[in-house]
Amino acid sequence: MINILKRNYLFWAFTLLLVSSWAQAATWFALEVPGNTFGATVEVDLESLRSLGEKRELMTRISFSQPQKEQNISFQSVIAELEISCNSDLDIWKSVSFFPSSRAEGKPISTANFGTSGLHISVLKMLPEKTWGTLQRSACGRNTAVAP
């Protein structure tokens, strides 16, 4: 058995590489935010959307046209896990990973996990209210947002 693994080492290494890259693949869908004047692209990973009763969990990638600063971290993009409430304005950040380059390429500079209770959107103001409204309408399948 060991001889078979040794002979096929490159085959197994290549197979593991392919499997690991598929597991990390995401299907990003760019949201068109009306009146987008804050210079950012907001994308949602369609495969990450989960329905939990009146709440939706999803991963989003936000790429800024210019470097941003948050708590002494200079970054140009983030990947965040969000929880969107379809019936109230209790939208929260569940986790955020900060990246030095656009489109969240490479390794994150820093990651913050806010646990199951999350961090209310008013505390970490990376997205304008119109963008949250667009995320809420899109995730909940509505024409209007609950708030704002």
Domains of the chain: 28-140 (2.40.128.710)
> CA–CA distance from 36 to each of 32, 41, 57 (Å)?
8, 9, 23
Cα–Cα distance between 58 and 60 in angstroms, integer? 6
Residue 133, helix vs strand vs coil: helix
DSSP letter at 141?
Answer: T
Average pLDDT over the chain, rounded to an integer: 79
* Partners of 44 in the β-ladder: 29, 60
Tens-place pLDDT, residues 90-99: 889 999 999 9
Show Cβ contacts of residue 143 under 8 Å, excluding neighbours closer than 6 positions: 137
* Residue keyed to tokens 């820093």: 110
Token readout for 141 is: 């399948």
Cα dihedral: 33, 34, 35, 40 (round 10):
10
Condensed to tens digits (0 to 9), the pLDDT of residues 1-37 reads 454 444 544 443 433 333 333 334 578 988 876 666 6
Least confident span in 52-61, 69-78, 106-115:
69-78
